[in-house]
Amino acid sequence: MRGRGRERIRKLWDEDLTKIQLKKSRKRAVIISTILYFGFLIIVLRLADLMILDHRNLARRAYTQYLTVRTLHPQRGFIWDRRMREMAVNLEVDSLYAVPSKIEDVDYLSQRLSPIIEISADAIRDRLLKKKERDFIWLKRKIDQQTSHKLVKFKKIYGIDSIGLITETRRFYPKGHTASHILGFTDIDDRGLEGIELQYDEYLRGKVRKILNSRDARGRSLSSGFEEAIAGNNIILTIDETIQYIVEREIERAVEKWRAKAATAIMMNPVSGEILAMANTPFYDPNHPSRYPADYRRNRAITDIYEPGSTFKSILASAALEEGLVDVDEEFDVSRGYIVVGGKAIRDVHRHETLTFREVIQKSSNVGAVQIGLRLGKERYYEYMKRFGFGDRTGIDLPGEVRGILRRPERWSGTSIAALSIGQEIGVTPLQILTAYCAIANGGLLMRPYVVSEIISPQGEVIKRFTPQVIRRVISPETAETVRDILKTVVEEGGTGRRAYIKGNLVAGKTGTAQMVDPETGRYSRDRYASSFVGFVPADDPVIALIVVIYEPKGARYGGVVAAPVFRRIVEHTLTYLEVPMERNENHILLVSR
C-alpha cells in the first residue's frame, strides 16, 4: 500500500511539474514571440522609412559615394604676334595637394614642408587642421620645377602618402616684359585679369568639362577611356614682336637719359588702324605680375590722360582749313609776343614778327594759334574735336580705355577757346592723339584701332577675323593733304621737330610740350611737363604713324628735344626692318645739325 501511495504521489508530482513547465514555456514563447513581432515591426517601419520617406536623401548619399564629378580644365589658347611668334603659351607644372584625413602628425609634416614650399609652418598647419576631415586640399599650386623635384625626393625618403603632386598648366610669356601691357596676365586658375587675356578670355579659356567617375568601395576608379576638355582658341595679334622690342628699347633709353617718370609710345598703321606696337615704361613681367605695383601694370597708352599741348594745333589747323577760314599763306601778326583772352595773357616761347598760317604750325606759335581758334569759334571747334574722336573712346579691343575730358561749349570759360587752341583744358590719351593724326595721314578717315587680327580654333579654323573699320570721315582729302604738307615743314629748318628728321624719307609730325597740373596745388606746375612728338612716315604715302610721350623729363622739357629723337630712332629701325625703300638718297629739305 505504501509503495502504491508513493507511486501515486510521485505521479501527481510529475504531472504538476509538467503543467508548471508547460505554463512557463507558453509564457516564454509569448514573450519571445512578442519581442520578435515588435522587432519585425520596427524593421518593417525602418524599411518603409528608408525606402519611401528617406529614399531621395539616401540615394543621393550613395550616389556621391560611388560616383564623383571630375573637372577637366582645358588648355588655354596661345597668343601669337602677326608673324606667328609665340607671345603667350602654356607650360605643364606640378601642384601640391594634401589629404588631411590621412595625416597623423600635422606638426611634423608642416615643419618638414615649410622650407620646401616656402610657406610658414603655422600657415600649413592651420590649413590642414581647418580641413581635417577633408580628403583633398591644395597646399601650393603651380610650383617651379626645382621645388617639384624636392617634393618628389621628400615623399620618397619619408614614405609619406598623405601629400601628392598633380600636373596642371601655367600661363607663360616667353618674351618676358615685351608687350606686357598688351598681353596682360592670368590668375592661378588661368582666368584673364588684364590686357588681351582679359578682353578675349571667353575665346582663350576654352570650355571646362565635368564628367562622372565611378569607383569601387576602395575608391578605385571604374571609368574607362580618356576624355579631354575643349581647348581654348588661339589669337593672332596685329603687334609685331620685333617692332615692339624696338619701341620698348628706345623709350627705356629715353627714360633713363632724361630721368623721366614714365613714357608711352604707340605705332599704328594709319590706313588700316592696326596697332604694330604699344609700349609703356615702367615695364613689368607678366610671368610674375604680383611682384610689381599696380602703377607698373597700368596701360598708360589708353588709361592715362594728359594735356597734349602743341600736338593739338594740327586739329585746330585741320578745322580752320576745312571750314575755309584761313589760307596757308595768310599772315598773322604775332609781333607782341602775347595775346590776351578773357583777361589772361597767352605767350609765345620765341618772339616773331609776322607768321603765315603754315609757319604758325611749323614754329608752334601760341599767339597765332589763339587767333585761329578765335576765328573758328567754340561751337565749330568743339564739333571738329568730337569728329576727331576726342571725348570718346577709340574703341580699341583692350580693357580699361578712358574717354578723356572734353567739356561742352556751354561749360567753357572766357579763356577756354584760347587754352584749347594750344592744347590745354582738354584731357586726351596718347592713343586718341595718334588716331587723330592717322586720319590726317590717310586722307581724312578716322579708323578704329585694333590689336587682334584673327581668332583661330584649335583645329586651325578662323573663327573671327578683324578688318579695318572706318568710324567716319572727319576732313576732306584735300584738307588732309594740305595739313600733311604743313606738318612736313615741322622737321625742316626753322621747325620745332628738326630732330625727328629721317634720312631718305620725309616725316610729317608735330612736337608738343605741355605743362602738367600739380595734384597738390591744382595749378600748372613749373617743372613737370609731358614732352611728345607724333607723326607719320613716309609723309606722302604713310606706312607707320607713331606717338612718343615722355612724362616729367629732367634737364629738358621741349618735345622737339626730348621726344623727337626717340621718334627718329624708332622709325629708322622700323623702316629698315620693314624694308621700306628710301624716297631719295637725301631729303630735299635743308636741315641743321641734329
Angle at 327 between CA 321 and CA 330, to 5 degrees: 140
**CB-CB contact of 309 with 423 (8 Å):** yes
DSSP string of 538-566? STTS-SEEEEEEEES-SS---HHHHTHHH
The CB density around residue 360, as the number of other CB atoms within 10 Å, is 27
Tell me the C-alpha distance between 205 and 400, whole Å. Answer: 20
| All three cell numbers of 491 | 622737321
Catalytic residue among 95, 110, 310, 364: 310
Which grid coordinates belong to 457?
580654333
Run of H or E including 462? strand 462-465
Q: Cell numbers at residue 373, please?
A: 581758334
Burial 173-204 (b: 16+ CB within 10 A, else e): bebebbbbbbbbbbeeebebebbbbbbbbebb
Instruction: Note if the bond before 286 is cis, omega within 30 degrees.
Output: no
Q: Distance between CA 62 and CA 367 in Å, rounded?
A: 86
Buried/exposed code over 337-348 (b: 16+ C-beta within 10 A; e: otherwise): eebebeeeebeb
- How many angstroms separate the CA atoms of 584 and 23, rounded? 133
Query: Pick from 170, 163, 208: which is nearest to 187 by CA?
Result: 170
Q: How far, CA to CA in Å, does 234 sit from each of 81, 92, 209?
A: 11, 18, 19
CA distance 259 to 266: 21
Residues 381 and 373: their CA atoms lie apart, in Å, by: 7
Alpha helices in 339-493 (DSSP H): 357-362, 366-376, 378-387, 416-421, 430-441, 477-488
Q: What share of the chain is helix, strand, coil (3-state, %, to 5)?
A: 40, 25, 35
593 is catalytic: no
Yes or no: say if 511 and 497 are a contact pair by the CB < 8 Å rule.
yes
- Indicate the DSSP class of residue 498: G
Q: What is the CA radius of gyration of the chain?
A: 40
Whole-number Å distance between alpha carbons of 218 and 362: 84
The number of C-alpha atoms within 13 Å of 374 and in the hemisphere containing its C-beta is: 15
Q: How far apart are CA 542 and CA 223, in angstroms?
A: 62
How far is it, in rounded angstroms, from Cα 96 to Cα 413?
A: 64
Cβ(307)–Cβ(516) under 8 Å?
A: yes
Q: Across the chain, how many H-helices and E-strands are there?
A: 20, 20
Positions marked active-site: 310
